[in-house]
Amino acid sequence: MRAVIQCVSEASVQIDGQTVGEIGRGYAILLGVGKDDTEAQAEKLWSKILKLRVFPDENGKTNLSLTDIGGEVLVISQFTLFASCKKGNRPSFVDAGAPDEANRLYEYFADLARRDVAHVGTGRFGAMMDVALVNHGPFTIVLDTDEL
């Protein structure tokens, strides 16, 4: 599983001009599910994200977690995080999860977030989405469960 985590002041996702998910301060998470991913990877990834201390404390040090600030989360499916550009100029997505299983794990990940965070927004798996966000910091982290 791969995730791009962005600290945001606000973020939203629209489908066909309608807002389907939005948050205030917290994380916008682009989530990619790989072909060999399981619930264990989702749990490991969410646990790491929840405990990251990347928000500034009263002294401006990145010392606070999402829980510490009462932050919100927007989870957006992003199979293109598994793009391979090793051959030619057209990305290959052979390492991305099969749609049904990837959707199941995406929803599972969002449910894990809902256990710990009061407000979790989502996009819609497989939909063409317009994502808007204000990256605070800017602060962006890329995580891959193969490297955790």
Catalogue the active-site residues.
Answer: 78-80
Burial class of residue 4 (count of CB atoms within 10 Å of its CB; 0-12, 13-18, 19+): middle
Phi/psi-derived region of residue 29, left when phi > 0, alpha when psi is between -120 and 50, beta in every other case: beta
Paired with 3 in beta bridges are 31, 143
- Token pair 């002294």 in the structure block, residue: 59
| Side chain identity, residue 56 | P
What are the residues whose beta carbons fall under 8 Å from the beta carbon of 36, sequence distance 6 or more?
A: none
Three-class secondary structure of residue 91 per DSSP = coil
Phi, psi of 105 (to 5 degrees): -70, -35
